[in-house]
Chains A and B, each alone.
Chain A
Amino acid sequence: MRVSPWVVPVLVIIAAVLGIGGARFLAAPSFTRDYAAAAGARVETVRFVVRGLKCVDTARQVAGQFADEPGVLRCVARASRNEAQVTYDAAVTGPQALRAAIEGPVVDEASGRIVFHQFEVRSIDGAAIR
């Protein structure tokens, strides 16, 4: 069947829309770290957008920032979205404490050096931080 050449750009645009729209169905974390069991905890989840969270290594580092933070149950870091989703016991900790943990000094595993200002929280649950 003869078709108009205009079908080509139309198909290109349809593919782009399907690709961008379909991304949500393929979401997967870059790194997940479980800290504690949730039994008896007042479980809440908060989502941080973090500058510096851009690959699997930095996702691992962000998730590792809660090692000394009481009340953290789980951290799921997604480098593709610059996002860390933290599940915590609201009776023990809260978003601001978690933000401080993320923005705290980072120990670089390879060199053993302490790195400051590696991560900066840009938004908490969609609310931008000024």
Chain B
Amino acid sequence: MAGRVSTLQRVRLALQVGVAAAALIAGVRLARGWSLAGVEKYCPFGGLETAWSFVTRRSFSCAAGELNLALFLALLGLTLVARKAFCSWVCPVGSVNEWIFRLVRRTGARLPLEPAPRTDRALRWLRLPVLGVILFFTWRTGELVFRGCDPYYILTSAHGHEVKLWSYAILAAVLALGVVVPMAWCRYLCPLGITLWPFSALGRLRLRHAVSRCTACAACSRACPHGIDVAGSTEVRSGECTLCLECTEACPAAGALELRLEGTKP
């Protein structure tokens, strides 16, 4: 499979571009007054932000609504089966980070740098305080107070409400970080990523590594944008796997990596 882009990866790219374009169009339409529906309505993280308000008061926080909550619940369901597939197939911020990762790698530069596994694991916990701070202040104030710092909102809202000059500085920093470390936002800062992580670890779709067919080239590990050691494990159990299937794409040995539904008979 290595060497050329498969139809599956073309479909994934089409889905990523389609979702990012739809979000941008929604942002421009709202900004121009052609529509009343903003990009925030389609963000599943908004569902988590407003969940407390919905459960305790049967009302929503700020601009979040039932669509956010329903999308969040559907996302939890998806994650319990297909891991963090949302991150690599749908999320516009994940898509932009991935495109940066590919672009930088193609330049032949030494970037992006893959951190040492221990450092990588430690840095991933940064997402927890980010999530805690956002949820605490959102639940306390009933407002989406961090809207101006949200890369998704800054990217797609067409200079929307509460987007200031410093918001673009944050966005630029996030993108620049992605040049240095692959998928830096997703790995170390994304609050939705850490929310999904425990559910993803339980996800039933897993990549199985058939060691007998493996050529030990480690192309799969190098291809993984999230730095998962695919070659070094018989089964990818990491909650960080987004099922982007770049590893199976890069693998030169037929059948060495295959997708399996666990909990069913072989």
Contact = CB atoms under 8 A, between A and B. Distances in A.
A8 B83 CA distance: 9
B58, B63, B248 interface centre (most CB from chain A within 10 Å): B63
Contacts of B64: 80
Interface in B55-76: 58-75
Contact of A12 (B66, B68, B70, B85): B85
Interface residues of B, number: 51
B12 interface: yes
A28 B60 contact: yes
B229 interface: no
Interface in A43-75: 49, 51, 54-56
B39 interface: no
Contacts of A11: 78, 81-82, 85, 205
Given A15-B74, A54-B63, A122-B36, A1 B260 contact: yes
Interface of A: 1-9, 11-12, 14-16, 18-31, 49, 51, 54-56, 78-82, 122
Given A2-B258, A8-B243, 14 more contacts: A3-B205, A8-B85, A9-B11, A16-B71, A16-B74, A19-B44, A19-B67, A19-B73, A26-B54, A30-B59, A49-B36, A54-B38, A54-B63, A79-B65
A-B pairs with lowest CB-CB distance, top 5? A80-B65, A19-B74, A15-B78, A19-B71, A23-B70
